[in-house]
Copies of this chain bind each other. A is one copy, B any other.
């Protein structure tokens, strides 16, 4: 029954690490809530740190595999040296991530992932980064093809901005209630969020590269910005 014990330990630890942080979660909390013995974590994973690693790998790898599948499909459908449709590209990048964050068990992990960006542990950081490296480069090249007129320095920053909104939306709940407290339309539909996000990000990515005039006249929504 070793495999099942590993499973339940990872499930419980994922939720606890997300809620209380790595340092704030004790092996005693984990093993108690998982209904296993205190020594089980060290037996199955070797240490508390190795348990953390296993948790990251379990979620991130499938997410990035889906991103690459979608990108492959896009590139197969459009010519090889040709432009790619921007909105579809954005969606290929963000949809697997957002769906992970709304999945049954995955929503705890997203908080954990957001937390990991702020941790200083070099070990953890290196491991998380390694899990993203291949996907990042493939998508960077694809976006460069979708926005051929944009200087690469500008594209670089805007892709960061895209990752930023995405990361924020993935962490979800708590953070998103800060700015406009009571106006939330209770919509748990991930597809609706994806549509809104694709619109926002695509228009941000496709903005002209030149600096913006700060004192512009009022404009209507949908009107192109100069």
- Is A104 an interface residue, CB under 8 A from the partner? no
Q: Mark A199-222, 1 if CB is under 8 A from B, else 0.
A: 111111111110111111111111
| Cα of A167 to Cα of B148 in the assembled complex, Å | 28
Complex contact B206–A202 (CB within 8 A): no
Complex contact B221–A202 (CB within 8 A): no
- Is A165 an interface residue, CB under 8 A from the partner? yes
Complex contact A171–B118 (CB within 8 A): yes
Using Cβ atoms and an 8 Å threshold, which residues of chain B touch A207? 199-200, 202-203, 221-222
Using Cβ atoms and an 8 Å threshold, which residues of chain B touch A212? 87, 195, 198-199, 202
Complex contact B204–A201 (CB within 8 A): yes
Using Cβ atoms and an 8 Å threshold, which residues of chain B touch A119? 21
Task: Give, as a whole number of angstroms, the nearest-CB distance from A112 to chain B.
Answer: 9
Using Cβ atoms and an 8 Å threshold, which residues of chain B touch A219? 86, 206
Task: Give, as a whole number of angstroms, the nearest-CB distance from A150 to chain B.
Answer: 4
* Known contacts A214-B88, A221-B206; A183/B168 CB under 8 A: no
Stretch at the interface among A42-50, A51-59, A173-181: A173-181
Interface centre among A120, A180, A208 (most CB of B within 10 A): A180
- Is A9 an interface residue, CB under 8 A from the partner? no
- Is A100 an interface residue, CB under 8 A from the partner? no
Instruction: Point out the residue from B114, B178, B204, B213 that lies within 8 Å of A204, measured CB to CB.
Output: B204
* Known contacts A167-B175, A224-B224; A216/B86 CB under 8 A: yes
* Known contacts A19-B120, A23-B23, A221-B149; A215/B85 CB under 8 A: yes
Complex contact A136–B178 (CB within 8 A): yes
Complex contact A209–B221 (CB within 8 A): yes
* Known contacts A118-B114, A133-B181, A213-B87; A82/B218 CB under 8 A: yes
- Is A152 an interface residue, CB under 8 A from the partner? yes
Task: Give, as a whole number of angstroms, the nearest-CB distance from A87 to chain B.
Answer: 5
| Cα of A198 to Cα of B169 in the assembled complex, Å | 19
Task: Give, as a whole number of angstroms, the nearest-CB distance from A218 to chain B.
Answer: 3
Q: Mark A133-160, 1 if CB is under 8 A from B, else 0.
A: 1001101100000111110111011111
Using Cβ atoms and an 8 Å threshold, which residues of chain B touch A156? 180, 183-185
